[in-house]
Each structure stands twice: as structure tokens, then as C-alpha cells.
């Protein structure tokens, strides 16, 4: 079982992956949590470039770096884990490229689909959880998290990634593209309202996946 989590920064992907992992492990499933980009050693080097390169990164370069990461990720980590019967929870996958490079940056969607297909050898998640909500609210959460992290490390938040500096209009296009994708593939997508307490978001997700909640402790 392969489940991807999508949504803009601050939508709660990391939070919800952690909560879902606990439920699945309580059911005795073996769970692999991974992320795109950066799920493999090679991918972590690419992630560093993708998020923190100081100079210009041409849109085509960015696109191919994501695809390179994904190709490595699918072959060396995701497929082997699925073959062993594990549940793979992946923080972002193909839909992020359609939403960010397609919707956000305006690159051709048909081309992105073909390249994604090539990079993943056609592997598509069984389910995709889209954490959706107002861009201002979700970005606000991502920004307070970035500030909190910098304060905890007693550093200035200079590790702001390349996407965190983009404007609201960019993220509105990303959000709209995500919602288009969900409409195009209703059997795969689960769209969840991300603007509610984390536990309520989690309950919506396990209900949609028909899993049993963890007993209250």
C-alpha cells in the first residue's frame, strides 16, 4: 500500500504522516515513512540543491532534479518496500510536480505527466491525501514553524527554502492545481480540510482510509 501526502507548506503533512504511522503500526503493519525529494542518500543531496541552492535555478533544471530524485527513490526505496509488503507513507510525490512546476510555475502539464510517468516507471500511489485549506492560513503555520525552529537553534532563519519566499499568488495556483488533480482522479484522492485541529484532520483521514482509530490513552 502506497500513500502519498500532498498540500502546500504548513498544511500538516508531516504531522499527519506521524499520526497515521502510529495507527498503522498499532495494526501490526510495517510502515516506511519517506519523502520526495530526499528519500534516499542521493536524493538528500538533490534536496539540498533544490531547497537551498543560493544562485538561480532554471525552471527546467528544477524540474529534472525533482524527477531525478524520484527515479532514484522509486527504484531503490519505494518499490522494494512495497514488494516486501510494507506500507509506504510518502511526503509529496508526482502531484507536487504537477501542482508546483505545472500550476505554480506554469510549465506544460502534458509534458510533466509524461516525465513523471518515465521517472516513476508508472508507479502511482494507491491513495493520495490532499491537505487543503486557505493559503494564508497554511503559509502562516509554515512561517511560524520556521521562526520557531530558528529560535530553537538560536539562528536567524536564513535556511528559508527557495519556495518559502514565493508569493501568495504562486501558492493559490498550486492549490488550484491540486484541487484539479483531485477532481480528475477522485478514486485516488482524499481531500481533507486541513484547517481544523490536527486530531480532527487525522480522524478524517482514518475514516476515509477505513482504518480503526487508536484506543484513547
Ligand X SMILES: Nc1ncnc2c1ncn2[C@@H]1O[C@H](COP(=O)(O)OP(=O)(O)O)[C@@H](O)[C@H]1O
# binding residues, Mg ion (CB under 5 A): 2
- Shortest gap between Cβ of 91 and Mg ion (angstroms)? 6
Residue 137: C-alpha distances to residues 59, 80, 144, 199 (Å)? 27, 37, 11, 17
Residue 151, interface with ligand X (CB under 6 A)?
no
* Residue 209 DSSP code: T
Residue 89, interface with ligand X (CB under 6 A)?
no
Strand order in the sheet with 2-6: 31-35, 87-91, 2-6, 127-132, 189-193
- Shortest gap between Cβ of 145 and ligand X (angstroms)? 4
Question: Which of 79, 104, 91 lies closest to 36, judged by CA?
Answer: 91
User: Do the beta carbons of residue 3 and residue 29 sit within 8 Å?
Assistant: no
Local structure of 191: helix, strand or coil: strand
Residue 128, interface with ligand X (CB under 6 A)?
no
Residue in 7, 10, 14, 45 binding Mg ion, rule: CB under 5 A: 14
Sketch the per residue contact string, 14 through 43, with ligand X: x for CB under 6 A, - otherwise.
xx----------------------------
Q: Which is nearer to ligand X, 115 or 204 (CB)?
A: 204
- The binder of 103, among ligand X, Mg ion, none, by C-beta within 5 to 8 A per type, is none
User: Do the beta carbons of residue 107 and residue 96 sit within 8 Å?
Assistant: no
CA angle centred on 48, ends 142 and 95, rounded to 5°: 60
Residue in 2, 4, 6, 9 binding ligand X, rule: CB under 6 A: 9
- The binder of 142, among ligand X, Mg ion, none, by C-beta within 5 to 8 A per type, is ligand X
User: Do the beta carbons of residue 6 and residue 92 sit within 8 Å?
Assistant: yes
Instruction: Name the residues that contact ligand X, by CB under 6 A.
Output: 7, 9-15, 141-142, 145, 197-198, 201
- By CB under 5 A, name the binding residues for Mg ion: 13-14
Amino acid at each position: 500500500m502506497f500513500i502519498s501526502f500532498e498540500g502546500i507548506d504548513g498544511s500538516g503533512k508531516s504531522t499527519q504522516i506521524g499520526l497515521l504511522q502510529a495507527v498503522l503500526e498499532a495494526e501490526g503493519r510495517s510502515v516506511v515513512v519517506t519523502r520526495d525529494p530526499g528519500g534516499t542518500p542521493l536524493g538528500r543531496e538533490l534536496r539540498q540543491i533544490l531547497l537551498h541552492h543560493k544562485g538561480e535555478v532554471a525552471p527546467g533544471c528544477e524540474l529534472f532534479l525533482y524527477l531525478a530524485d524520484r527515479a532514484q527513490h522509486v527504484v531503490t526505496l519505494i518499490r522494494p518496500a512495497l514488494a516486501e509488503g510494507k506500507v509506504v507513507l510518502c511526503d509529496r510525490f508526482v502531484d507536487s510536480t504537477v501542482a508546483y512546476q505545472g500550476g505554480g510555475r506554469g510549465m506544460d502539464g502534458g509534458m510533466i505527466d509524461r516525465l513523471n510517468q518515465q521517472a516513476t516507471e508508472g508507479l502511482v500511489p494507491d491513495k493520495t491525501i490532499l491537505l487543503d485549506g486557505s493559503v494564508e492560513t497554511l503559509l502562516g503555520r509554515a512561517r511560524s514553524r520556521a521562526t520557531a525552529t530558528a529560535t530553537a537553534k538560536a539562528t536567524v532563519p536564513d535556511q528559508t527554502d527557495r519556495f518559502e519566499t514565493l508569493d501568495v499568488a504562486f501558492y493559490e495556483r498550486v492549490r488550484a492545481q491540486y484541487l484539479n488533480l483531485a477532481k480528475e482522479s477522485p478514486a485516488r484522492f482524499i481531500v481533507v480540510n486541513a484547517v481544523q485541529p490536527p486530531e480532527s484532520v487525522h480522524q478524517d483521514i482514518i475514516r476515509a482510509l477505513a482504518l480503526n482509530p487508536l484506543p484513547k490513552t
